[in-house]
Amino acid sequence: MPHLKTEEMIMNMGPQHPSTHGVLRLELVTDGEVVKSITPHIGYLHRCFEKHGEELTYPMIIPFTDRLDYLASMNNNHAFNLAVEKLLNLEVPRKVEFIRVIVAELQRIASHLVAIGTFGADIGAVTPFLWTFRDREVILNLFENLTGARMLYNYMWPGGVARDFPKGFREEIGAFITYFRPKIRDLNNLLTGNHIFISRTAHVGVLPADVAVNYNCTGPVLRGSGVKWDLRKNDPYSIYPEFEFDIPVGQGTMGTLGDTWDRYYIRCQEMEQSLNIIEQALAKFPVEDATDVQAAVPRRIKPPAGEVYARAENPRGELGFYIISDGGTKPFRVRAKSPCFVNLAVLPALGKGIMVSDIVAILGSIDIVLGEVDR
Amino acid sequence: MKPSEIVDLLKQQEFGDKILSFEENTFQPGIQINPLWIEDIFYFLRDDDRLAFDSLSCLSGVDYGAGKELGVVYHLFSMKHNHWLVVKVKLDRESPHVPTVEHIYKAANWHERETFDMYGIVFDFHPDLRKILLPDDWEGYPLRKDYQVQELYHGIKVPF
Amino acid sequence: MHDLVLKTLGIGDLLAWLGVPDGSLVYPVVASVFPLVFLIIFALLAVYAERKVSALIQNRLGPMETGPWGLFQTTADILKLIQKEDITPKAADKILFFVAPVLVFTGTYASLAAFPWSSGFVGADLNVGIFYLLAISSLVVAGLLMAGWGSNNKWSLYGAVRSTAQIVSYEIPAGLAVLTAIVTTGTLSMNGIIRHQEGMWFGLLFQSPFLFVAFIIYLIASLAEVNRTPFDLPEAESELVGGYHTEYSGMKFAMFFLAEYGNMFIVSGIAVAVFMGGWLTPWGTEPSVLMGVVWMILKSLFFVFFQMWLRWTLPRFRVDQLMYLCWKVLIPIAFACLIGQAAVEVYL
């Protein structure tokens, strides 16, 4: 029937869609089930973080950083404080560093749990989602005990943290580690090795290493492409050099190097590495140290004029803060370089000639948080 | 490689007169360059094996104050050699134009769109220079220091 | 069907006693209401069971608040659905949009007419019973396609096209698998097939390896026919929002829901009747009429549970993988089983 013409269909995936992980709109040009091109439209959650930053003092910006990547608030706090402390040339007490590393790694596990769970749900397996949320709940309860908040903590301050560990808190974290290790095994049994899961994710959305670097992808997306790059090791900050841990990289175990399965599995392995770091940190924790965790926090934060770019390894990649100070109590310019924003930019490059179902898999494996994409 | 060595290398490549200034005593030493030559310099920075700046870590627009010029700050990082270079360009406030580096670093694509959105800096030859975070019909460039928020947006009062 | 229903349940006597004259329309009306009531009650309980099974698998409690152990949760949900506004999108094709859920439900409802509840209790023991069941349950496809097209929504269209391709494709391995059993029984009548299995432990299932494989194929294909995980692509929430029922709400949505759970029961019932001895006891004797109903429902419920179990364990296939599995794996194996079983029948 040569007289019958077919034409491409333009679809709007989002802003309300179950697997865009927030208010993201993807404009798809499809030919049946095959996607010809993807155009992401973002900005639905834009809240002018950078403009706010210019109007607020440094301590007042910290709660705003919580709300960037709201699944990894601790890590956001950490990155911002690194920048401010560098600007102030501030020495952080050793005990505070330990506390920061422990909570940051716990937060990384919590964040990866969400990533893994939602990824499973995107592929169609709902049970892993509830399992991971059950385990994340334990971490959130720990944080609630520590900070009083479940998601947005405002916990780390320049030079210190808001509160010391409560009594028995380290034992609770230890109990969590013993509880959680077998759960990772369960998760791998249920999802990682599942034949359907592998057939859905292997060879899908292959991101070659050079493309990943050129797009400046970071975090699990970059490591999934086989680049051994982790700021905790390669550009160390805080007291990470004191701990022994591996950087898991993608190996193309189930398919091609840099496919969605690799990116997914990186997160599973990173959770174990984070547990290792927490274990070591608990073992080395300066128990006798009675330093007040707020002792080094300056009464008035007024950095000298200058500029600094500091970055930290967030669960989703490299979160950078570029701060220009004019010598006042408010920054002249705060720029948040968000890993999700950068990682999402690679989606159009991956989304050619794939199927509609693959978009969901790729997007889930990139693991974006729209709060950070739109800032 | 130290920043001063990087600058020396650039000067050897006859980029000397394109480098307008060099700030050494900051956290991340940076150079200010002539915006017209940004592509040539970036190609050299990326492709030369001694420098190998393979990633554009951050691209930020800056407004140096009402009445002063606008700027774009490129944080270049080399994963191979683990060194930094901050490249700055300063642009005329009335017609800020700078050539795009999108074809050199794909990461610049969305960053440049954002900078265009927030500062109105036009990245010449960018393949897809549209607003990214703000609505398409938003007026003004919010991160400029002299930004005045519009009164009404589609009949909705904006300042609250 | 109505004669049998009325006889079995004694409703006929009741109606006669109430003074309803012979040959009155009341008899067939009452008789046809029975499967409807069964379907609704089954769907209510199945949704509750689905929630509890998923809760069991996911380390939760499931509904606990409404009634004891949350037993009335589904009832409350149905009440809520009835009260909801019946929205028809402006751009929808009004007629198709309205007819689709009715048609889908009709397919489910009509298949109960030939459903072998028990020895003396089958609506219409047609001599082409199994053929009728397979045919009438495919009516769903037309309904889904209408729903997808009539909604005038791109996601619905995707869901409808997917489901049509899927159900039409998987009819073939399912049909071939059933045919393998029919080669042995030599009849298409539901009760005839079941009676053939008398004296066999678990019916035809363990009678020959070909039948066993055919049973597995039927099980897989039946999952696809009722759009259950891992073949729930037509309504894949994470991809197509809601698939063909994206635009549906209120009672129309409830009808899709009812049909889905009804279909789960019917495909399980067919599997049980053809391969597992239907209403016979597992050891192959003929029970009383009432016990036959119990055995039939128990066996079917086991497979309903199996479907739920799979749903909460497995991820979802992709469209091309779904088609690959059907055309390149299941159909060749099903053909081999059919030929093998035919050879067994002819030469042994």
DSSP secondary structure string, A229-248?
Answer: --HHHHS--TTGGGS-----
Q: What band does C331 get if pLDDT is binned at 50, 70 and 90? A: very high
| Sequence-ordered list of residues with C-beta below 8 angstroms from that of C29, at least 6 positions apart, any chain | none
Cβ-Cβ contacts under 8 Å, B58 against chain A: 309, 320, 322, 335, 337
The two structure tokens encoding residue A370: 């729209």
Say if residue A182 is preceded by a cis peptide, omega within 30 of 0. Answer: no
Asked if residue C5 has pLDDT above 60, the reply is: no
Chains C and B lie in contact, requiring 3 or more CB pairs less than 8 Å apart: no
Closest CA to A370 of A10, A37, A16, A89: A16
Helix (H) / strand (E) element for B21: namely strand B19-23
Q: What is this structure's pTM?
A: 0.87
From A100, A75, A73, A143, select the one nearest A296 (Cα to Cα): A100
Q: What is the pLDDT of residues A225-240, one digit of tens each?
A: 888 888 888 888 888 8
Condensed to tens digits (0 to 9), the pLDDT of residues C7-22 reads: 544 555 566 666 667 6
pLDDT tens digits along A131-142:
899 899 999 999
A2, pLDDT greater than 80: no
The number of beta carbons lying within 10 Å of the beta carbon of residue A12 is 14
Interface test with C, best of A8, A31, A123, A358 (most C CBs within 10 A): A123
Q: Which of A4-8, A181-185, A302-306, C181-185 has the lowest mean pLDDT?
A: A4-8
Is the pLDDT at C139 greater than 50? The verdict is yes
- From the list A48, A213, A229, the residue facing B142 with the nearest CB is A48
Helices (H), chain C: 2-9, 11-17, 26-57, 73-83, 94-111, 129-137, 139-150, 154-185, 190-196, 209-225, 237-240, 250-275, 289-311, 319-324, 331-347
Q: Which of A25, A34, A127 to mutate to test the interface with C (most CBs of C within 10 A)?
A: A127
Strands B30-33 and B19-23: antiparallel
Amino acid A109: pLDDT: 92
Residue A331's φ and ψ, nearest 5 degrees, are -70, 150
Is 3.20.20.70 the CATH number for B3-133? no
Beta strands (DSSP E) in chain A are 9-13, 25-31, 34-41, 156-157, 160-161, 306-314, 317-325, 331-337, 354-355
One-letter amino acid identity for C139? L
Q: What angle do CA B92, B97, B100 make, to 5 degrees?
A: 145
Going from N- to C-terminal start, the domains of chain B cover: 3-133
Q: What is the pLDDT of residues B53-84, one digit of tens each?
A: 888 888 988 888 877 888 899 988 888 888 88
Q: Is the pLDDT of residue C282 over 70?
A: yes
Dihedral angle at the C-alpha atoms of A157, A163, A165, A166, nearest 10 degrees? -160
Tell me if residue A41 falls in helix, strand or coil: strand
Instruction: Write down the pLDDT at residue C1.
Output: 47
Determine the pLDDT at residue A112: 92
pLDDT of residue C7: 52
pLDDT in tens, C192-228: 888 888 877 877 777 788 888 999 999 999 888 888 8
Binding-site residues on chain A for chain B (CB distance < 8 A): 42-43, 46, 48, 50-51, 54, 86-87, 211, 213-216, 227, 229, 234-235, 306-309, 311, 318, 320, 322, 324, 333, 335, 337, 341-342, 344-346, 349, 374-375
Set of chain A residues whose Cβ sits within 8 Å of the Cβ of B54: 213-214
Residue A335 to residue C289: CA distance in whole angstroms: 78
The pLDDT tens digits for A150-178 are 888 888 888 888 888 888 888 889 999 99
Q: What is the pLDDT of residues A229-271, one digit of tens each?
A: 888 888 888 888 888 888 888 888 888 888 888 889 999 989 9
Nearest to A127 among C57, C239, C321 (CB): C57
Q: Which of C154, C313, C318 sits opposite A127 (nearest CB)?
A: C313
Q: Which residue of B has its CA nearest to A218?
A: B57
Query: Within the 191-220 window of chain A, which residues sit less than 8 Å (CB to CB) from chain C?
Result: 191, 194, 196-197, 199-200
Q: Contact C54/A19, CB-based, under 8 Å? A: no
C121-150 burial code (b ≥16 CB/10 A, e <16): bbbebbeebbbbbbebbbbbbbbbbbbbbb
CB of A25 less than 8 A from some CB of C: no
Closest CA to B50 of B109, B105, B97, B5: B5
What pLDDT shows up at residue C121? 67
What residues of B are in contact with residue A235 (Cβ under 8 Å)? 82
Structure tokens at A309: 């770019």
Q: What is the pLDDT of residues C13-52, one digit of tens each?
A: 566 666 667 666 766 676 677 778 888 888 888 888 888 8
Determine contact: B52 vs chain A, CB below 8 A. Answer: no
B137 CB neighbours in chain A (<8 A) are none
- Chain-centroid distance of CA C312 in Å reads 19
Predicted pLDDT at C239: 73
Contacting chains of A (3 CB pairs or more, <8 Å) are B, C
The angle subtended at Cα C239 by Cα A337 and Cα A10, nearest 5°, is 80
* B57 sits in which H/E element: strand B55-63
Q: Which residue, chain included where needed, has tokens 């003929």? A: C286
- Set of chain B residues whose Cβ sits within 8 Å of the Cβ of A320: 57-58, 75
- ipTM of the predicted assembly exceeds 0.95: no
User: What is the residue-averaged pLDDT of chain A?
Assistant: 87
Q: Which of A369-373, B5-9, C145-149, C174-178 has the lowest mean pLDDT?
A: B5-9
Q: Is the pLDDT of residue C248 over 80?
A: yes
A 223-262 → C contacts, CB under 8 A: none
- Chains touching C by CB (3 or more pairs below 8 Å): A
The residues facing A307 across adjacent strands are: A324
What's residue C22's pLDDT?
Answer: 67
Give me the mean pLDDT over the A30-38 stretch: 85
pLDDT at B17 over 70: yes
The nearest alpha carbon in chain A to C153 belongs to: A11
Q: Indicate the residue of B56, B63, B133 with minimum beta-carbon distance to A42.
A: B133
Distance, CA of C36 to CA of C111 (rounded, Å)? 11
Contact status, residue C263 vs residue C225, Cβ threshold 8 Å: yes
Q: C240, C318, C323: best mutation site toward chain A, by most A Cβ within 10 Å?
A: C318
CB C119 within 8 A of CB C197: no
